[in-house]
Amino acid sequence: MVNTSNPDFELFRKHPTWQGLPDSFWEFCRTHGRVRRYGVKQFLFFSGDEGTHVYFLLKGRLRILLMSEFTEKIFRILQPPAFFPEVILDSKVYPYAVLTAEASEVLILERKLLLQCLKENPSYLFPFYQSMALDLRRAYRQIKNIALGDARSRLGAKIFALAHVHGKKTPQGIVITVPLSATDLAGMCSLARESVSRILSELKESEIITMNKKEITVNDLETLRKWINEHQASL
């Protein structure tokens, strides 16, 4: 972990959710926050830690982990620009752990300073509302897939979402740029690893995806969408 200065907020300034914030807000963050660089597989904080700070992801990717005494599951993968964790604006503990998936850079700001800034400048609040609403929508969608979908539709929907958010277009299809093992996917979908391995084999045999170790390529998103819908319709 390395402390640096001169944060680059350009991705936030260009993003539809955050572009409405004035330069004065980012100057406030630059003045009162600190930038840290993390290597691969380093924790930013753990579930249950006192929620004293908020974070702006500037570079890299992070894994949000739900943890218990004996296991951990990937709940979500963050990429820039991202603000987290919104829920500690209620002054409680961190509800999850955050682990770097690759070398990453974040700006860290004391929660109480951000709350004071928002209290003094209520016009700054709307982008934070938008960000929280988007996260709630993602969470509801994930709950719906887990509660109502069978194993195939749950895994298919997760791969589709990952391709949409973390995908890179190539001549072969959409490459999911985050390396994911069958164990990672099983945790994200609340499935047994054996079930995930079996369904991945089905998707490969149907030529919907190709795999190279932990790299997944969706050969055609529309074909994957139809495959998901077919399994949802059969429930």
Asked whether 42 and 61 are in contact (CB, 8 A), the reply is no
- Listed residue (82, 78, 77) closest to 9, CA to CA: 82
Q: Is residue 144 part of a domain?
A: no
Q: Is residue 143 part of a domain?
A: no
Q: Enter the DSSP assignment of 172.
A: T
Q: How many CA atoms lie within 13 A of 125 on its CB side?
A: 9
Reported as a single tens digit per residue, the pLDDT across 76-117 is: 999 999 999 987 677 789 999 999 999 999 999 999 999 999
Q: Is residue 142 part of a domain?
A: no
CATH code of the domain in which 192 resides: 1.10.10.10
What band does 16 get if pLDDT is binned at 50, 70 and 90?
A: very high
pTM across the whole model: 0.86
Same-domain status, 154 and 126: no
Tell me which residue range forms the domain holding 10: 2-135
Write down the pLDDT at residue 3: 64
